[in-house]
Amino acid sequence: MARDEWVPMLGEAWAIVQRQARTDERVFPVSPEKITDLFTAACKACGIPDLRLDDLRHLASSRLQELGFDPTRSEAAGLPW
């Protein structure tokens, strides 16, 4: 079941979102299942075995920590520490 989530935007992200054309009130009006399907297809097309979106979430968390971002801000954005 899909659910909407509010996520704080870091840096200039909010300004970028505001400039995008909208067909819906959501920033990305697609289902989680569709995103997973597209990501899996892209990995397969590129010959990347066994990569999950969750792997990228963990990588982003690590990189933000290396750059000195406050862990509490990253946790609020859904990134684990």
Provide the token pair at 63. Answer: 């990189």
pTM exceeds 0.75 for this model: no
Provide the token pair at 55. Answer: 């792997």
Q: List the one residue out of 77, 80, 79 whose CA is nearest residue 10.
A: 77
- CA distance to 4, 15, 45, 60, 65, per residue, from 54 (Å): 18, 26, 19, 10, 17
pLDDT tens column, 12-57: 888 888 888 888 887 778 888 998 999 999 999 999 999 998 888 8
**Phi, psi (degrees; rounded to nearest 5) at 33:** -65, -40
CA dist 64 and 13 (Å) reads: 15
